[in-house]
Amino acid sequence: MQPDQTVRFFGGENIPLEMHKVRVVQKLSLPPIENRLTAIQDAGYNTFLLKTRDVYLDMLTDSGTNAMSDAQQGAMMQADDAYAGSQSFERMQTAIREVFGKEYVLPVHQGRAAENILARSYIKAGNLIPMNYHFTTTKAHIDLNGGRIAELLYDEALILRSDNPFKGNMNIDKLRAVIAREGAKNIPFIRMEASTNLIGGQPFSLENLKEVRKVASEHNIFIVLDASLIGENAYFIKQREKAYQNASIGDILREMCAQADIVYFSARKVSSSRGGAICTSNKAIFDYLKVLVPLYEGFLTYGGISVREIESIAVGLYETLDESVIGQSPSFIDYLARQLDVGGVPVVMPPGGLGCHVDAMKFLPHVHQKEYPAGALTAAFYLASGARGMERGTMSSVRDENGNDVLSDVELLRLAFPRRVFTLSQTKYVEDRMKWLYSKRNLIGGLRFVEEPSVLRFFMGRLEATSDWPEKLVKAFRADFGDSL
C-alpha cells in the first residue's frame, strides 16, 4: 500500500505532499566539493565530527532534529519553572497517560538515560536480554552491567530487498528456545524495539508483539518496549497489517503499549528536541525505578529536561496521533527509496521509518567489511552531495576479546528524514547525487581507524582513507559537473 500522503500527478508519478506550510526558515549553505573534501578529512572521515557549517542537508539523524510545530512553540511559553511539582510535568504526564495508556511516568533527559536506569536496575552479570534487534546505546548499557543480548529476528529480516512488511518481528520459536536454554530467572526482561533502527527502521506487527506478550506471560518475564519510533511503527501497522487498516493511530499506539510492562522513549525522536521518559502502569515497577531518577537525572518532575521541552513533549505526543504528522517522514522515505530502487541503487525494501537506507555491501562489493564499506559510502556521499548521513554497520559495532571487528549483519548508509524538515526538491537532489555516486562506485575505497575509542567508537573515532580514492572522486565530480556545487 502506498503511504496515504502520496498523490498521483497527471503525468502518472506518485508524489508525496508536504502536509504543512513553512513559517520559519533556517539558512543553509552548500560548500564546493573541494571544501567538503577538506572538511571530511578534518573530521577523520566520520560524519559525526563534521561541523554544520560544512553540511548542506543534515540527514545524520532524526534525534532532536524534527521540526517543531507552532503549537509546540506556543506551549513552551507557558512553562512552569518550578524545580518540584511543576505543572508542565503534569501536562506531559497527562499526555503520556492518554497517548500511551501508562499511569506512572519518570522523566529522563533522553532515551539512553532511560536505558541506563533500566540496565542498572535489572541487569546483573550473566543475564541475557532477548530482543528483536539491538541498538548501539542499548547494547552498551547491557554490556557495561555484565549482561548479554540475544537477537531473535526471523532469518529473512536480513534480506534487505524483499516484500516482507515486518522485518522487525521477533522469532517466537527462537524466543522459546532461548528461555528454555537460559531459564526465565536469568532473563530480567524481553526488549522490543519499535521500528528497529540498525536494520533499516523496520517495524514489527501488532500480532507479533501479542505473541511475544503471550510467551512472556507464560514465564513471568517483563516486556520492555523501546517506543522511540513507536509512531512510525504504528503507522506501518495501519498501512501493512490488515487487521488494523481501519484502526486509528491512537488505538494502535495504546494497544502496542498495553502489551509492555515498561515503555521508554526518547522524546528527541517521538515529539520534541530533548527529553524522554520511562512509563509503566505497575506501581511496584515505578517505585523500584524512581530512586535512580534524582541520582542520575533530576527531580521526579523534571528529570533533567528543560520545562519548556516538557511542554513541547506533551503537545508533540498528541500530534503523534495525527497521521498527517506521523506519516510525513515515511512518505518521503518511501518516495526516495523507490526512486533509487528504480535507478538500480541498492536500498532497503520495503522502506522503513527514520530514513532511507542504502545497502553498502551491494553498493561497494569490492570494499571488505574490515574496511568499513558503510562508513566509506557515508563519507563518499557527503563528498558528492554535501548531505551528511550516518554509518550503520561495522563501524557502529565493537571488537571482540581478541581485538577483531565483530562484523555487522548489514552495512547501511542511513539518510535520516526528520519530521517536516526537508522539501521535495531537496529530496530529489539527494536522489540525483546518489545515482551519480552509484555510477562512480568503483572509485570508492575503504577506511581504517586511526583513533578508536573503546566504547561507541562510531561517535568519536577518526579514520583515514586506505588510498587516494577521495581525491579521485573529487576529480570525477568536476569532470561531470564542471563548476557546479
Convert the pLDDT of each residue in 366-416 to its tens digit. Answer: 999 999 999 999 999 999 999 999 999 999 999 999 999 999 999 999 999
Q: Cβ distance 384 to 431 under 8 Å?
A: no
- The single residue of 89, 133, 135, 222 carrying the catalytic annotation is 135
449 is known as an active-site residue: no
Q: Reply yes or no on whether the pLDDT at 1 is more than 60.
A: no
Q: Residue 385's Cα: distance from chain center in Å?
A: 22
Q: Is the dihedral of CA 280, 285, 291, 292 positive or negative?
A: negative
pLDDT class for 8, splitting at 50, 70, 90? confident
Which DSSP letter does residue 84 get?
Answer: S
Residue 154 appears among annotated catalytic residues: no
Spatial separation of the C-alpha atoms in residues 221 and 169, rounded to whole Å = 18
Question: Is pLDDT of 127 > 80?
Answer: yes
483 tagged catalytic: no
Choice among 136, 137, 280, 394 that is catalytic: 136
DSSP character for 155? G
Share of the chain above pLDDT 90, in %: 85
Distance CA 286, CA 133 (A): 26
Please indicate whether residue 83 is annotated as part of the active site: yes
pLDDT of the residue at 302: 94
Our answer to whether residue 475 is catalytic in this structure is no
Asked if the model's pLDDT at residue 7 lies above 90, the reply is: no
If DSSP codes are grouped into helix, strand and coil, which group holds residue 407? coil
Residue ranges of alpha helices (H) inside 387-450 are 424-439
d(CA 444, CA 472): 8
The answer on pLDDT for 174 being more than 90 is: yes
Q: Which residues of 153-187 are buried (b: 16+ CB within 10 A; e: fewer)?
A: bbeebeebeeebbbbbbbbeebbeebbeebeeeeb
pLDDT, tens only, 66-83: 888 899 989 999 999 999
Given the residues 167, 338, 392, 420, the one annotated as active site: 392
Distance CA 280, CA 117 (A): 14
List phi, psi (to 5°) of 190: -105, 130
d(CA 17, CA 7): 7
With contact defined as beta carbons under 8 Å apart, do 165 and 240 qualify? yes
Find the distance separating the first CA and the last CA of the chain, reported in whole Å.
37
Q: What integer is the mean pLDDT of 421-436?
A: 96
CA dihedral 358, 363, 368, 374 (to 10 degrees): -30
Cβ burial, residue 277 (10 Å; 0-12/13-18/19+): buried
431-485 residue pLDDT tens: 999 999 999 999 999 999 999 999 899 999 999 999 999 999 999 999 999 998 8
Q: Which of 7-11, 97-101, 307-311, 345-349 has the lowest mean pLDDT?
A: 7-11
**CA 338, CA 322: separation in Å to the nearest integer?**
25
Please answer whether residues 121 and 98 qualify as being in contact, where contact means their C-beta atoms are separated by less than 8 angstroms: no
CA distance 170 to 259: 14
Report pTM. Answer: 0.92
Which helix (H) or strand (E) is 246 found in, with range?
Answer: none
- pLDDT confidence tier of residue 3, bands split at 50, 70 and 90: low
The CA-based angle 142-148-150, given to 5 degrees, is 115
- Is 226 annotated in the active site? yes
Which of the residues 112, 269, 388, 433 is marked catalytic? 269
CA 361 to chain CA centroid, Å, is: 20
Question: Quick check: is 392 catalytic?
Answer: yes
Q: What mean pLDDT is reported for the chain?
A: 94
User: Which contiguous run of DSSP H or E holds residue 392?
Assistant: strand 390-392
Q: Catalytic pick from 38, 52, 83, 214?
A: 83
Among 59-68, 118-127, 443-452, the least confident range: 59-68
Using left for φ > 0, alpha for ψ between -120 and 50, and beta otherwise, residue 165 falls in alpha
Name the H helices within 279-393: 283-290, 293-296, 307-319, 323-326, 328-342, 360-363, 373-385
Q: Locate 395 and state its grid cell.
A: 563501524
What cell does 141 get? 548499557
Give mean pLDDT, residues 215-244: 96
The secondary structure element, H or E, covering residue 141 is: helix 136-144
- Average pLDDT of the residues in 158-171: 96
Structure-block grid coordinates of residue 235: 503507522
Catalytic residue (choose from 54, 58, 62, 226):
226
16-25, 114-123, 391-400: least confident range: 16-25
**Interhelix angle for 307-319 vs 87-100, to 10°?**
20
User: In 22-86, where does DSSP find H-type helix?
Assistant: 33-42, 70-76
Q: Name which of 456, 440, 330, 335 is nearest 385 in CA terms.
A: 440
